[in-house]
Structures are given as C-alpha cells and as structure tokens.
C-alpha cells in the first residue's frame, strides 16, 4: 500500500468511527488517558489542520501557536469539519511535489515522506482509540496496519521515552500475536 492509499484508508478508518459517536458519548474516556472522545476529536481536527498549514508552506511558529485551539467549541458537525480538512490534507500530499522536500514540523524539519507516515499512524491509531471508547468495531484494515507497522519501525526503540505513546511496547507479546495487536502495544495501547 503506497503512502497516498494508506493516508486515504487511515482517514476512512477514523472518519467511520467518528460518524458512529453518539450524542451521549462525547464525554467518554479514551485509551489516551487524559482525553475524552471530544478531546480526541479536537486533537484530530488540530492535527489535520496543522498538516494542511504545513503542506501549504506554513511555519513551525504559526502551527505551534494554534495547537491549543479548541476547534470543537463552535463545531456544529465534527464529521464534516474533519472530512473537509482531510480532503485538503490529501490534496496537499497528492500535489506534484506533495511527497518531496520537507516541512517545518513542530518536532523540527522532517521529510514529507516521514510526515505522511505520521498522519497515517495518527489517523489509524486514533481510529482504534475512538472505536474502543465508543464500543465500535476495533478491527483496522490489515494493509493499513501493515503500513503503520513498517512506518513506525525506525522509531520503535525510543517510543516509550517520547511520552506520547504511554510506556511504549509492553514486551509481553510474541511474534505470533496479530500484527494489529503488536502495533497497538508498540504505541502504548493494551488491547
């Protein structure tokens, strides 16, 4: 699965779960221990908006300045808002130079090929988080999981130290565990 196909599938996975959120589920806890479903949805709107800004040449300072925004505060339709931003992000990555060069990411200057991997993993991982929170189907597309697994391998050893992925891998799973379970464990989830 190439990067653009994986991005599209990861967006589909997240948006499918977002459509399933009931009016009474926005305050439910998620596997991201400090976030409710609403907080997770806000994070995804922010991350997707950030991607659109960076792909359009936005600066690190401008992006960082908006990372604390509450996009859910006045959002009448989180699904439509996410879909619109996600379409712009896809267009940015699909442009003739969309996967070439670098972006001025909050983590520093990174290749666009790495950046698209971050977006794929964020969408896919949070699709699972959202499914777990609302009791929806947690099964992610197998090809997407394989892509996320491959994309995260260069960072696998240090994930627990970043603080963004819980404690990282538990060390309790063998190679015979399903790949989705191993991926989720690696990013600090304990399915």
Number of Cβ atoms within 10 Å of the Cβ of 187:
23
Note the pLDDT of residue 28. 98
Task: Give 160's contacts (C-beta < 8 A, 6+ positions apart).
Answer: 166, 167, 168, 169, 188
Instruction: CATH number of the domain at 67, please.
Output: 1.20.120.450
Domain count for the chain, please give it: 1
Q: Which of 48, 105, 113 shows the shortest CA–CA distance to 81?
A: 48
- Give the pLDDT confidence of 84-143 residue by residue, as tens digits: 999 999 999 999 999 999 999 998 899 999 999 999 999 999 999 999 999 999 999 999
Asked whether residue 164 is assigned to any structural domain, the reply reads yes
Asked whether residue 191 is assigned to any structural domain, the reply reads no
Asked whether residue 168 is assigned to any structural domain, the reply reads yes
Global pTM reads 0.94
Asked whether residue 161 is assigned to any structural domain, the reply reads yes
Alpha carbons 57 and 177: distance in angstroms, whole number? 41
- Which residue segment(s) compose the domain that 138 sits in? 3-186
Asked whether residue 61 is assigned to any structural domain, the reply reads yes
Q: Report helix, strand or coil for 172.
A: coil
- Give the pLDDT confidence of 4-19 residue by residue, as tens digits: 999 999 999 999 999 9
């Amino acid at each position: 699965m190439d990067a653009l196909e994986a991005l599209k599938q990861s967006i589909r996975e997240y948006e499918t779960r977002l459509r399933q959120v009931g009016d009474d589920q926005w305050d439910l806890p998620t596997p991201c221990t400090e976030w409710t479903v609403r907080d997770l949805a806000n994070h995804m709107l922010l991350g997707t908006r950030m991607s659109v800004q960076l792909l359009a040449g936005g600066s690190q300072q401008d992006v960082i300045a908006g990372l604390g925004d509450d996009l859910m505060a006045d959002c009448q339709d989180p699904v439509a808002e996410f879909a619109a931003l996600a379409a712009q992000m896809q267009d940015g990555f699909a442009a003739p130079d969309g996967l070439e060069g670098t972006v001025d990411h909050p983590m520093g200057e990174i290749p666009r090929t790495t950046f698209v991997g971050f977006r794929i993993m964020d969408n896919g991982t949070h699709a699972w988080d959202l499914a777990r929170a609302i009791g929806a189907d947690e099964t992610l597309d197998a090809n997407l999981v394989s892509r996320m697994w491959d994309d995260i391998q260069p960072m696998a050893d240090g994930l627990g130290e970043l603080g963004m992925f819980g404690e990282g891998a538990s060390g309790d799973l063998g190679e015979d565990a399903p790949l989705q379970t191993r991926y989720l464990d690696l990013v600090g989830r304990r399915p």
